[in-house]
Chain A
Amino acid sequence: MSIVATAVSAVSADFTPPGVEEFWQPLFGTDGPWAITRPILLSVLSVILITWWLLATTKKKAVVPSRGQMGTEAVYGLVRNGVAKDLIGSKEFMRFVPLLFTMFVLILTNNLFGVIPPMSFSTNGRIAFPIALSLIVWIVFHFVGMKKHGFFGYWASLVPSGLPKAMVPFIFVLELITDLFTRPVTLALRLFGNMFAGHILLVLFITGGWYMLTNGGILVIAGGVTWVFALIMFLFEILVEFLQAYVFTLLAALYIAGAVADEH
C-alpha cells in the first residue's frame, strides 16, 4: 500500500488536472472580449453542417423517404409531435415548431461536437451560448404570453385563480422570481453545467490516464482502467448530450405552453 501511496503522491505532484483555462481557446492569436475562439468557429461550422444536412435530406420531398430523410423526419417528428404538440396543444403548436426544432438540432449538434474527435469541444460548455439560447426562449415566452393576455393580464395570469386573498402577493412574488429569473437561469446553467462538467471529466480521464500510462510505473494498470472508464464516459456523454438537448427543448416548450395557456 505504501508503494502505491508514494507512487500516487509522486505522480500527483507534477500532474496538473484540467481546469477552467481548458475552455479558453482563442484562435489566430487573438485575445480579450472580442477574440475569435474555438467554440465560435465550431458554432459557425455547426450551422453550416445542419443547414447542408437539412436542405440535402429534404430536397426530394419523397413520400417514401431515403435513409437521410428518415433520420431528419425522426428528429422533426420527435420535436413536432413528442414535444411541441403534446405540451403546447394541437391548436397553437405549429408556429413554435420552427423555433423548437432549430433549438433542438442546434443544441444537439453542438453537444455532439464534444465527443466527435476533430471538434472534441462542446460549444455549449461555454456559458455564452446557453445564455444566448435561453435568452431567446425567455424573450419568446414572455412575448407570446403578453401578446395573448395583454401586458397586465399576463402578469395577473401568473397567480393561479382561486387563491385566498392574503396569499396572492406572496405567490405573485414567488411566481415573478420563477418567471423572470429562475427559469432562464436554470435553463442556461443546466445545459452549460452538463456540457462543462462532461468535457472536464473526459479531459481528466484521458489526460490523467495518459499521464499514468507514461509516467506511472506501477500505476500503468490504473491508467489502462482509467482509459476504459474514459470510453464508458464517452458513451455516457453521448446519452447526456441527447438528453440535455431534449430537456432544453422540452422546457422551452413547457414555458411557451404556460405562457399561451388559457388558464394558469
Chain B
Amino acid sequence: MHAALATAEGDTGFWATVAPIVPHPLEFFFGIVTFAILYFVVKAKVVPRLEQIYADRTAAIEGGMNKAEEAQAQATAALEQYQAQLSEARGEASRIREDAKAQGSAIIAEMREQAASEASRITETAKKQIDAERQQAVVSLRGDVGRISTELASRIVGESLESETRQKGIVERFLSELEAGEVVREKVGTAPTTGEGGDA
C-alpha cells in the first residue's frame, strides 16, 4: 500500500526524501491557521458555555443546599419562638404567682393592721369605759366612804358631825391625802422598815 502510494506520487522529489524534521511550509501555515480558528471557536463559544454549565450546576446544588438551610433556619426560628413563648409564659406565671403572693401578704398585713387597730380601739374603748366607770366608782365611793365614815364617826362620837365635817372638809382632805399616798403610806410603811432596820 505504502509502496504503491509512494511510487505513484514519485519518491524521488525533494519533499519525499528530505529528513522528516524539516517542516513543510504550507503544513506549518495550516498548523497555525487551524489552531487559530479552533481557538477562537473555543474561546468565544465553548468555554463560556461550559463555564455556564459549571456555574448553573453549582447554583443548582447550592440552591438545593440553600433551600435545606432555609428550612433548617425556619425550624430553628420556630423552636426559638416556641422557647421564647414558653419562657415568657413561665415568667408570666411566676410573675402572677409573685403578684398573688404579694397581694396575699398585703391583704394579710392589712387585715392584721385592721384587726390590730380594731383591737386597740376596743381596748381603748374598754379602758376608757373602765376609767370612766372607775372614776364614777371612785366618785361614788368617795361620797359613800365620806358619808359612811361620817355616819360611823358620828355614831361612835354620838353626835352628828355632819355639818361640821362638811364645813371643815376634813374627810375630803384626808381622802385626797390618802390618794396622794403621803400620809397613810408614811404611817403604815415607816414603822415596819424602821423596825426591821432596828433589828438588823
Contact = CB atoms under 8 A, between A and B. Distances in A.
A contacting B, Cβ–Cβ less than 8 Å? yes
Interface of A: 16, 18, 20-26, 31-37, 39-40, 43-44, 46-47, 50-51, 54-55, 58-59, 61-63, 65, 69, 72-73, 76, 97-99, 101-103, 105-106, 126-133, 135-136, 189, 192, 196, 203, 207
Nearest to A211: B3
Given A16-B3, A61-B56, A131 B35 contact: no
Contact of A106 (B1, B24, B35): B35
Contact of A101 (B27, B37, B46): B46
Nearest to B14: A32
Given A61-B52, A99-B39, A105-B38, 19 more contacts: A20-B20, A21-B16, A24-B13, A25-B9, A33-B24, A35-B26, A40-B26, A51-B38, A54-B42, A58-B46, A62-B53, A73-B50, A73-B53, A98-B43, A128-B30, A129-B27, A129-B28, A133-B31, A203-B2
Contacts of B134: none
Given A24-B9, A44-B34, A58-B46, A126 B60 contact: no
Given A51-B38, A98-B47, A128 B52 contact: no
Interface of B: 1-3, 5-6, 9-11, 13-28, 30-32, 34-35, 37-39, 41-43, 45-47, 49-50, 52-53, 56-57, 60
A103 B25 CA distance: 20
A184 to B, nearest CB: 13
B41 A18 contact: no
Contacts of A73: 50, 53
B16 A24 contact: yes
Given A21-B11, A63-B60, A128-B27, A46 B46 contact: no
B53 A61 contact: yes
Given A24-B9, A196-B20, A55 B31 contact: no
Contacts of B38: 47, 50-51, 102, 105-106
Contacts of B37: 47, 51
B24 A37 contact: yes
B46 A33 contact: no
Given A58-B53, A73-B53, A127 B23 contact: yes
Contacts of B17: 20-21
Contact of B30 (A44, A189, A192): A44
A177 to B, nearest CB: 19
Contacts of B16: 20-21, 24
B32 to A, nearest CB: 5
19 contacts: A21-B16, A24-B6, A25-B5, A33-B24, A37-B24, A44-B34, A47-B37, A47-B38, A51-B41, A59-B49, A61-B49, A98-B42, A101-B42, A127-B23, A128-B31, A132-B31, A136-B32, A189-B21, A192-B21
